[in-house]
């Protein structure tokens, strides 16, 4: 028993000093935050529907931390929005699963990338994260949106280019083969022969 304890003591002493110099202590794993809901979301700036942002605060061993303070902060200008309380900052406390939810985020009418800063703290431990969303003016599928106009132009241009290429053969003009007409129906996303 004495030999084992002496051997362990020497091993600990050897780990603490190398070449006569004291080594720094091994760092303990740090607190971290992960986004559970809201990362990469697209906010329709015409509808301004409320959206939740959910994060989880964990310790270095990936165990949830309850009772941590979590601050959600929106940009002051540009693409941004407000929380349910009309403010650009919101402070929540994590639940027993380490989760904090910023409820009712509504985008403003400025299109672009929204970076939502999330800061967590408990005691002297801190962690931060940026949740990225996008404010966009998403056009509806009906009523000739810009997406459909662009798609029609691309398909029409490809068909015209194909017909032109078919009429060229070694610099000699020939008759173009009969082209099969195509149709595009907004809202269904199908392309095919007319019915």
pLDDT tens digits, one per residue of 34-62:
999 999 999 999 888 889 999 999 998 89
Q: Are residues 158 and 79 in the same domain?
A: no
pTM: 0.59
Note whether residue 147 is domain-resident: yes
What is the strand order of the sheet 51-58 is part of?
Answer: 32-37, 51-58, 99-107, 81-82
Tokens found for residue 166: 């078919």
CA angle 121, 101, 76 (to 5 degrees): 75
β-pair partners for 127: 120
Tens digits of residue pLDDT in 66-117: 999 999 999 999 999 999 889 999 999 999 999 999 999 999 999 999 999 9
Strand ranges (DSSP E) for 10-167?
17-18, 21-22, 32-37, 42-44, 51-58, 69-73, 81-82, 89-93, 99-107, 112-122, 125-136
83 and 59 part of one domain: yes
**Is the same domain home to 70 and 160?**
no
Cβ atoms 56, 33 nearer than 8 A: yes
Give the range of the structural domain holding residue 152, as residue numbers without chain letter. Answer: 139-174
Lowest mean pLDDT among 45-54, 125-134, 137-146: 137-146
Do 144 and 131 share a domain, yes or no?
no
Asked whether residue 3 is assigned to any structural domain, the reply reads no
Report the b/e string of 103-128 with b at 16+ CB within 10 A: ebbbbbeebeebebebebebeebebe
Total structural domains in the chain? 2
Pick from 190, 107, 192: which is nearest to 141 by CA? 190
Same domain, 111 and 152: no
């Amino acid at each position: 028993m004495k030999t084992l304890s002496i051997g362990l003591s020497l091993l600990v002493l050897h780990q603490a000093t190398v070449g006569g110099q004291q080594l720094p202590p091994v760092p303990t794993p740090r607190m971290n935050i992960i986004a559970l809901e809201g990362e990469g979301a697209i906010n329709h700036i015409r509808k301004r529907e409320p959206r939740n942002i959910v994060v989880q605060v964990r310790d270095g061993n990936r165990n949830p931390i309850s009772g941590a303070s979590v601050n959600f902060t929106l940009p002051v200008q540009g693409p941004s929005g407000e929380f349910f309380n009309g403010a650009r900052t919101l402070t929540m406390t994590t639940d027993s699963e380490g989760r904090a939810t910023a409820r009712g985020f509504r985008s403003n009418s400025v299109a672009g990338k929204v970076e939502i800063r999330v800061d967590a703290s408990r005691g002297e431990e801190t962690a931060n994260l940026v949740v990225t969303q996008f404010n966009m003016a998403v056009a509806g599928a009906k009523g000739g949106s810009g997406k459909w106009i662009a798609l029609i132009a691309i398909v029409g241009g490809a068909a015209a280019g194909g017909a032109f290429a078919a009429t060229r053969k070694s610099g000699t003009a020939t008759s173009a083969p009969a082209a099969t007409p195509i149709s595009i129906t907004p809202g269904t996303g199908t392309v095919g022969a007319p019915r």
